[in-house]
Amino acid sequence: MRNNLKFYIDGTWVQPKSTAVIDVINPADETVVGQVALGDTSDVDDAVSAARKAFETYSLTSIEERISLFDRIIAAYDKRANDLALAVTDEMGAPQWLSEQLQVTVGVAHFKIARAALATYRFDEPLGTSEVVREPIGVCALITPWNWPLMLMAAKVAPALAAGCTVVLKPSEIAPFSGTILAEILHDAGVPKGVFNLVHGDGRVVGNALTSHADVDLVSFTGSTAAGIEVARTGALTVKRVHQELGGKSPNIVLRSADLASAVEGGVAQMMLNSGQNCSAPSRMLVHVDQVAEAISYA
């Protein structure tokens, strides 16, 4: 049993202010595999305050310092690869091979991509008689779903840290284990205290507290359209930037000239990767009206 009963705030593991705890269930076999604590607005206030304070110094770090930090993060991540794969399998039911070969590898890939970008990106450049300077935005609230936990956490955390921002991460409360391990990785890599903070909880309480918080400068949210509407609404109250990736039904267009059998079979296989739990799953297959019956026979 995994028990995620503490939050990572200001460089240390702390007891939540709330006593609320929920079971985490492996959807593959519906067994209880652990518990996670649910935070409240006080936990969010502490995490945001730590991130705000850390931003004053972390935003001034050099590119070379951040590159060195990313090298340490990537090394620490690789050491915990097996732990991460086991956690993903427990929390969201992914087959072990998929956790190892895809879930874990795409997570570290985002840190490697951000590290590579740091080596070449121009934060300042001349433009005519002026100079354009790109500055970190500030404190970023990062809210992620359960289906690709490592990829989506890394896709938000890595560029934020690379840009000089500080963050508060709220993973999905039904898939919290990999987020806790990621916090351990960042701690072991020597991320300065307050730069990365982790608060577990649900969207109604912790998510809403983050998106409406006056000291949060940007919200990055991946999840349902219904929740995204609420994120946009609450974020607007403090005129913060809001970046969203919401649910959809991606089209898979099969032209009449295509090999119909391989197109349909391949399309179904692609859609069902990760048990069909992909934001980009091509779940609508559009074929020529004369080929509908044949396409159905291959599905």
**C-alpha 273: how far from its chain's center?**
19
- The reported pLDDT for the residue numbered 261 is 93
- Residues with active-site annotation: 245, 279
Percent of the chain with pLDDT over 70: 99
- The reported pLDDT for the residue numbered 298 is 86
pLDDT beyond 90 at 7: yes
Say what angle helices 149-163 and 177-188 make with each other, to 10 degrees. Answer: 30
- Average pLDDT in the 30-55 region? 97
From residue 135, alpha-carbon distances to 120, 123, 162, 163, 199 in Å are 16, 7, 11, 8, 26
Alpha carbons within 13 angstroms on the beta-carbon side of residue 278 total 16
- The reported pLDDT for the residue numbered 281 is 80
- The reported pLDDT for the residue numbered 174 is 95
pTM greater than 0.95: no
- The reported pLDDT for the residue numbered 289 is 93
Are the C-beta atoms of 188 and 76 separated by less than 8 Å? yes
**Can you give the C-alpha Rg of the chain in angstroms?**
21
Beta bridge partners of 34: 2, 24
pLDDT beyond 80 at 247: no
pLDDT-wise least confident of 44-53, 54-63, 86-95, 261-270: 261-270
Q: What is the token pair recorded at 38?
A: 């649910």
- How far is it, in rounded angstroms, from Cα 58 to Cα 11? 14
- Average pLDDT in the 51-73 region? 98
Question: What burial letters (b/e) apply to 75-111, b meaning 16+ CB within 10 Å?
Answer: ebbeebeeebbbbbbbbbbbeeebbbebbbeebbbbb
Beta strands in 55-179 (DSSP E): 124-127, 130-133, 139-143, 166-170
Q: pLDDT of 114-159, one tens digit each?
A: 999 999 999 999 999 999 999 999 999 999 999 999 999 999 999 9
pLDDT beyond 80 at 54: yes
- Average pLDDT in the 177-193 region? 98
Are the C-beta atoms of 1 and 23 separated by less than 8 Å? no
- The reported pLDDT for the residue numbered 278 is 80
pLDDT beyond 80 at 275: no
Which residue spans of the chain are classified as CATH 3.40.605.10?
A: 2-246
Domain 2-246: assigned CATH number: 3.40.605.10
